[in-house]
Structure 1
Amino acid sequence: MSRPRIVVVGAGFAGLSALRRLERRIPKGAAEIVLIAPNDYMLYQPLLPQVASGLLTPQSIAVSLHRLLHRTRMVPGAAIGVDVRSRTVVVRKISGETAYEPYDRLVLAPGSNTRVFDIPGLVEHGRGNKNLAEAVYLRDHVLAQLELANASDDPAERDERCTFLVVGGGYTGVETAASLKLLCEEACKRYPLLRDHIQWHLIDIAPNLMPELGENLGRSAMELLRQRGVKVTLEVSVKEATEDKVTLTDDRILPCRSLIWTAGTSPSPLMGGLGLETNKGKLVVGPDLSVPDAPEIFAIGDSAAIPDLSKDEDDALCPPTAQHAERQGPAAADNVIASLLDRPKTDYRHKDLGLLVDLSGRDAVARPLGKEFTGMPALALTRAYHLYSLQSGPGRVRVATNWAIRALLGGEVSRLGFLNKTIDTLVDTDQIDQYLDTEQAHEKVLVAGGAHDRA
């Protein structure tokens, strides 16, 4: 009898925690475990704003999978389709080749994409902060604008290059604005004539900043940003963007060459092509994290519509946070094992532990377990949580060392030379257009002869 084959798609918080539980719980040789992911590291996304500001080096938050996984076979590529009938995943490897991975159990944790809207100029002129390449690029872009402004004799160009707009009043947007504003302040030691020209704006269509924090802490975060010199405007978004200006929905026009878009995420297109039920693009699963019409498939993380059993509302779903994803992974792994052993599966249930926001410098706000903190106590809690959540000893040492170096010696404001043409738009259209629906995936599998023996 052949060993069961468990395929996991994605190595973010959800996918990695599922894989680690599978390796711990399944005896050696009892099952084959396969990971499909484009990178050989897990990105600790909550600290991306600190990479963008130069507070942390990129490798500090890239947790090596080779250090954490010892019995998992890694396939370097992206899952672009699933043939549900033959139980086969279609993979586009990083080499461009197409591969086919059959499965007995499939755990889908592909993460999410940057959410964009049909706003003229957004894709061409927006900048994101969702992966390492974007974070490093964003830092170089901001510093380049200051260098160019300092070298310009044109007052209009100087204003355009010194004006920065962050869209999105959630966790990422707030931290990105705070961190990069601090970077600009450090750069102004080199460019003192720009100090009065630099403007940072943070806008959001919602009436409150980070509503998950609660009214008091949301207001505290907004006050801290304004004290830093960030102009916060709510219930406003972008109407149009060009190379040198941004028009807002309140008809204001900002001379601006830096539009930073952090206005949420959208589910992976992989989920919509399965031919299974979705909710706003997320794959619908039951409380046990399995798909009702395909119980051999489990879905977790940002692209799964998972019932939130801690809420009284029948239609409440778990929010797409790292906290939930990290805990959904082990729950899915346990239920995968239970399904293989024909044992009862258990429901995923988790109480929200709160939110912590690091505003760089010495500012932070935190609400762990319903208790509110600001200032240094919040900063200590926030950074202790990040060190605890990093699943790598070397990663923890690198992050703590970077923080210590910045505190003792200050920061560096030199560009790293990443202003190239491969990541200069907000969305890589190839990464969206590559996905297959289930019929296309089935045809590819049959043509390739890679179908599972149960097809």
Structure 2
Amino acid sequence: MDIVVRPKILVVGAGFAGVECVRRLERKLGPDEAELALVTPFSYQLYLPLLPQVASGVLTPQSIAVSLRRSRRYRTRIIPGGAIGVDVKAKVCVVRKITGEIVNEHYDQIVLAPGSVTRTFDIPGLADNARGMKTLAEAAYVRDHVISQLDIADASDDEAERAARLQFVVVGGGYAGTETAACLQRLTHNAVKRYPRLDPRLIKWHLIDIAPKLMPELGDKLGSSALEILRKRGIEVSLGVSIAKAAPEEVTFTDGRVIPTHTLIWTAGVAASPLIATLGAETVKGRLAVTSEMCLPGHDGVFALGDAAAVPDEAKDTDGAVCPPTAQHAMRQGKHVADNVIATLRGQRMTPYVHKDLGLVVDLGGLDAVSKPLGVELKGVPALVAARGYHWAALRTGVAKARVATNWLLNGLAGDDFVRTGFQSRTPATLRDFEYTNAYLTPEQIRERTGTV
């Protein structure tokens, strides 16, 4: 009797790109056509654009952690762990399970969607004293930390310490940094009313970025509107400025200013997952160089997309243009790469990825927002409706949509709460404690495990 072995499709990463790919494969492939497996340390998809609202307490953490096991068509085997190396010659992905065990996962087709990590620079003290805004744990931690600064300041009789505890620095004038500063400033502005011993004028938020403009993708008009909103709230925005040095109790700016603070939030861009470096393949600014079909040249059955891949932007006439690392692109690429994987299995022709931009949305908390859906510039309540409507529609399950809508309604009716949940420990957590960027193997270690010459 002939035994038919199903080809194994291994998807790495449960972000927007990986989950959209898996779900499309489940819908379009019959159970007898392929075996599906997904490598991820968590069995949920994180809706990253709403992290600032988790940090400010508008949304609960669970509401944006969308379960991967609720799908009606669920048949993908979830491998609970992180990919720490890939040998494309041996067709092996090395996985460190959440138990610590390291195993080799063989595949016939692999889809690399490991996403990105917070981009850092060689700035003294940065890795030890900054917090990020890239994971659910970081958002929950930052919320606890910010509220704890109010508690400590309220309990302190030292005026210098009180002032330092009530100063907050956010680095990064992109969407993540701007929304983080805006949402957390609103939280502290509302919370300080519950602390009669604290002078609200002592609370100072700083948003800095080395770029000359705030969120330049929005255009000059909306970018200026966002800047005006932040400054009216009392947020000090400094452009053309970055961090020269970070210490536990102060931050030095590149313009010479020294800010006494215990809170440095770093959101200055992202870099491709370190997993990409383990392949030993060509990269473009750290992202894996792929074709318009999202294939790795010279290696059959290897696809890459999302933040970790430099996917050519066919919608632009500029040579060498690549798609930016946004959720909008990742979701579309996930569906498209699934179609290309299916095409290779069925002996059909793959197609290039081409997109039409839907626009940009920025929620600044409260009734403030700026948005540019389909090129139409909006601000205020219309922009807020566009921003929240887009995010709500993009949530993958009805349960997630219900939770988020309920959280928004409750926050609008009852206002913010200022509960500190106790995630903090005696040892402050920093960037390196959340993203595990030192957990990957070298190409030599991978070859040693797989026996590839």
**What's 1:137 paired with?**
141
Kindly state the Cα deviation for residue 445 of structure 1 after the two structures are TM-superposed: 2.6
2:238 aligned counterpart, secondary structure? strand
Question: 2:78 maps to which residue?
Answer: 74
Secondary structure of the residue aligned to 2:245 is strand
Which AA in structure 1 matches 2:133?
Answer: N
Provide the rounded CA distance (Å) in 2 between the counterparts of 1:60 and 1:423.
26
- Check 1:27–1:439 CA distance in 2 against 1; reply closer, same or farther (3 A cut): same
- Percent of residue pairs identical: 56
C-alpha distance 421-319 of structure 1, shift in aligned 2 (>3 A): farther
Matched position secondary structure for 1:433: coil
Counterpart residue number, 2:185:
181
- Decide which of 267, 280, 305 is 1:300's aligned counterpart: 305
Partner SS, residue 70 of structure 2: helix
Counterpart-to-counterpart distance in 1, 2:447 and 2:341:
24
Counterpart contact for 1:119–1:238, Cα < 8 Å = yes
**Residue 9 of structure 1 aligns with which residue?**
12
- Provide Cα deviations, 1:130-159, integer angstroms capped at 9, x if missing partner: 111100100010010011111111111011
**Native 8 Å contact 1:282 1:305 kept in 2:** yes
Match of residue 49 from structure 2: 46
Q: CA deviation at 1:434?
A: 2.0
Q: Is the 8 A contact 1:41 1:65 kept in 2?
A: yes
**1:303 corresponds to which letter in structure 2?**
A
User: 2:439 matched to which residue of 1?
Assistant: 434
Q: Match for 2:116: what amino acid? A: S
Say whether residues 1:365 and 2:382 are aligned partners. Answer: no
Structure 2: distance between partners of 1:278 and 1:182: 40
Contact 1:8 1:106 in 2 (8 A): yes
Whole-angstrom distance in 1 between the partners of 2:174 and 2:140 = 21
Alpha-carbon distance, 1:430 to partner: 8.0
Whichever residue aligns with residue 15 of structure 2, its letter is G
The answer on whether the counterparts of 1:84 and 1:438 sit within 8 Å (CA) in structure 2 is no
Which whole-Å CA distance do the structure 2 matches of 1:31 and 1:421 have between them? 48
CA distance in 1, matches of 2:204, 2:348: 60
Alignment of 1:266-415 (within 5 A): 266-415=271-420
Within 5 Å, give how 1:156-305 maps onto structure 2: 156-192=160-196, 193-305=198-310
The Cα shift of 1:296 comes to 1.0
1:106 aligns with 2:110: yes
- Would you say 1:19 and 2:22 are equivalent positions? yes
Contact kept, 8 Å, 2:144 with 2:424, in 1: the verdict is yes
- Check if 1:115 corresponds to 2:119: yes
Contact 1:275 1:437 in 2 (8 A): no
Contact in 2 for aligned 1:111/1:268 (Cα 8 Å): yes
The letter for the 2-side match of 1:117 is F
User: Equivalent residue of 1:273, what SS?
Assistant: helix
2:88 aligns to what?
Answer: 84
Runs of 5+ consecutive residues of structure 1 not aligned to the other structure? none
The verdict on how the C-alpha distance between 1:328 and 1:135 changes in structure 2, with shifts beyond 3 A counting, is: same
The one-letter code of the counterpart of 1:222 is L
> Runs of 5+ in structure 2 lacking a partner?
none
Cα distance change of structure 1 residues 222 and 239 upon mapping to structure 2, 3 Å threshold: same
1:125: which partner in 2?
129
Q: Would you say the 8 A contact 1:114–1:427 is kept in 2?
A: no
CA distance in 1, matches of 2:426, 2:332: 38
CA distance in structure 2 between the partners assigned to 1:2 and 1:356 by the alignment = 46
Contact 1:150 1:194 in 2 (8 A): no
Give me the TM-score of the superposition, normalised by structure 2.
0.97
Contact preservation (8 Å) 1:335, 1:345: yes
Q: Does 1:96 align with 2:96?
A: no
* 8 Å contact from structure 1 (residues 365, 374) kept in 2: yes
CA contact (8 A) 2:361 2:372 kept: yes
Q: Distance in 1 between matches of 2:176 and 2:256?
A: 25
Specify the SS of the correspondent of 1:203: strand
Secondary structure, aligned partner of 2:338: helix
DSSP 3-state at the match of 2:236: strand
**TM-superposed deviation, 1:431:** 1.9
TM-score (norm: length of structure 1): 0.96
Instruction: Output the CA distance in 1 between the equivalents of 2:290 and 2:442.
Output: 19
| Letter paired with 1:379 | L
Letter in 2 for 1:133: A
Change over 3 Å in CA distance of 1:430–1:163 after alignment to 2: closer
1:223 and 1:235, CA in 2 relative to 1: closer, same or farther beyond 3 A?
Answer: same
Is residue 91–residue 107 contact of structure 2 (8 Å, CA) maintained in 1? Answer: yes
Distance 1:333 1:422 in 2: 43
Q: State the 4+ residue runs in structure 1 displaced beyond 3 angstroms.
A: none
Counterpart amino acid of residue 104 in structure 1: D
Matched position secondary structure for 1:367: strand
CA-CA distance at 1:29 after TM superposition: 2.1
**Cα distance change of structure 1 residues 177 and 429 upon mapping to structure 2, 3 Å threshold:** closer
Contact 2:137 2:434 in 1 (8 A): no
Distance apart, 1:439 and its partner CA? 3.4
Q: String of CA shifts for 1:187-235, please: whole Å, max 9, x gaps.
A: 1111132311100010000000001111100000000011111111100
CA 1:372–1:159: 2 relative to 1, 3 Å: same
Aligned residue pairs total: 448
CA contact (8 A) 1:245 1:257 kept: yes
Q: What secondary structure does 1:436 align onto?
A: coil
Q: What secondary structure is seen at the aligned counterpart in 1 of 2:122?
A: coil
